[in-house]
Amino acid sequence: MKNKNPKCCICGNECENEWGNNPAPLPVKKNDVCCDECNANIVVWARLNPDLGFIKAFSKINISGICEELGIDRANLLKGNTSATNYKKVRDAIQEKLQKLP
């Protein structure tokens, strides 16, 4: 039996294979899966969030300012309570600012 590949719980696209990826720790329903792209761009980064690995690595950049600009609650972001879309936005903003660092 050949089922259709599952739908990604983050972007809604079809997964590249029949298993998808585990989106933990993103706040999704049990048994949800995500596509390879979201796994690489969002989930992997979000996994660093509990110990703030990514963000601390870029402590030169003012995360508060980024959150303010984007209208994202910083406390929620740091606690892992914001959406995958917001993580992506913050990540993109961080990367953008990194380019501008001396």
Q: Residue numbers of the site for Zn ion (CB under 5 A)?
A: 8, 10-11, 35, 38
Q: Which is nearer to Zn ion, 8 or 90 (CB)?
A: 8
Query: What is the spatial distance between Cα 77 and Cα 81, in angstroms, rounded to a whole number?
Result: 6
Long-range pairs for 67-72: beta carbons < 8 A, 24 or more residues apart: 69/93
Q: What is the nearest approach in angstroms of Zn ion to the Cβ of residue 81? A: 20
Q: Which is nearer to Zn ion, 38 or 66 (CB)?
A: 38
Q: What is the nearest approach in angstroms of Zn ion to the Cβ of residue 38? A: 3
Q: Which is nearer to Zn ion, 11 or 28 (CB)?
A: 11
If you count them, how many residues does the chain have? 102
- Chain-centre distance for alpha carbon 15: 17
Q: What is the nearest approach in angstroms of Zn ion to the Cβ of residue 100? A: 29
Coil, strand or helix at 28: coil
